[in-house]
Amino acid sequence: MSDALQKAFTLLLLIVLGLILRSKFKNKQQTDGIKEMVLSVALPSTIFIALMKVNVDSKLIIVPALTLVFNFFMYFITPVALTFFGVEKNSSTGRTLIMLLPSLAPGLSCFPFIAEFLGQESVAMAALGDVGNKFFVLIFLYVIALNMFLKNAKTEETNISDKIKALLLNLAKEPINIIIASALILLSFGVSFKSLPVIIADMFDKTSAMMTPLVLIFIGLAVQLKQKKKRLISSMLMFRAGITMLFSAAVIAVLGIKEPTMVLLAVAIPLSSASFWPFAHISAFNLREEASGLPKERRTFDAELAVLVLAFSLPFSTLLILGILSAGTFFADLPTLIMTGLLFMGIGVVPNLIGKSIMKFSKA
């Protein structure tokens, strides 16, 4: 078994471990404890390391720029796509999908297979591309989540100005925001991760290492497999994969990329699974609304749906990327890539359109 396949199975087994341990975590407080460890310790450490290690070569600025273009492309097309699936974009379901579907988690679902099939130089290029994605998921999506939260808060009778003041005060105290501010301040003074004291760097490395296993185990513990929206998520992920392949094909054609390794790299990175970081934003605002006693159906986001998206997206993207890269240069052919993209879009959309037509016909 290849190293890439072993890593894929390891990631999936961690989710399975969470499913097995569900009987040991019978109350919400226990699973919330794991989530708090992720949000307050592991995720801030991961973000700190990522920011402190950013070193963008001006000649390669096009790589993170293209990733960022993809993020925004998916962000603007997702509300349009929701109409094909009968989802209202201003609902908690719609807002949750708009937050998650444009994001990428290449570290979990993509980098191991790029290293195995395309080599370390390609991994470096992929990591550079992730710089643009990090800006999108850490900063832009946070602003979007805040805006969605405030718009939804206007429907409440509570004093909006007091709500905003309390929110900003809490945000200033959150570990993620403190760590981002600290990293930016250190970078402005020319301090990099390598120049930090060994003890400090080692502490961040070890706490960051907890993130992947904790996140995957938490997904296994928290995911509601009986939730009715499994079909919706599967269809949306199919559509996302299809439109992603067409985007990659357009980039390859416009830039005139011919080298098979670079073509496959342009295909693999955007197919990465949805990121955990938008879920962190969703969780932060969901906790505010939960503490205020707001019922689930009136909250800005659907946290349970977000967990379900992550649980489905990771294995789906992992297997898809593994299949594409293990097929050699088969998907490096532009017509093949376009046809596959259209096929995936059709698989995602057509069953829903047929279902709508049948419902309308039966009502008539």
What would the pLDDT profile of 73-91 be if each residue is shown by its tens digit?
Answer: 999 999 999 988 888 988 9
d(Cα 90, Cα 94) in Å, to the nearest integer?
6
Phi-psi category of residue 256: left, alpha or beta, with phi > 0 → left and psi -120 to 50 → alpha: left
Each of the 364 residues of the chain gets a pLDDT tens digit; together they read 566 567 667 777 887 888 888 888 877 677 778 877 877 888 788 778 877 776 655 556 788 889 999 999 999 999 999 988 888 988 999 999 999 999 998 876 787 678 777 876 777 778 778 878 888 988 889 889 988 988 887 655 445 565 556 656 666 777 777 887 888 788 888 888 888 999 999 999 898 888 778 877 877 776 666 556 788 888 999 999 999 999 999 999 999 988 999 999 999 999 998 988 898 889 888 888 888 778 887 888 998 899 889 888 888 888 888 788 888 788 888 999 999 999 999 998 887 766 666 656 655 5
What would the pLDDT profile of 103-159 be if each residue is shown by its tens digit?
Answer: 998 876 787 678 777 876 777 778 778 878 888 988 889 889 988 988 887 655 445
DSSP label of 257? -
In what helix (H) or strand (E) does residue 187 lie, and over which residues does it extend? Answer: helix 175-188
Judge whether 239 and 344 are in contact, CB under 8 Å.
yes
Task: Please give the class, per CATH, of domain 3-351.
Answer: mainly alpha
Neighbour count for residue 36 (Cβ, 10 Å): 14
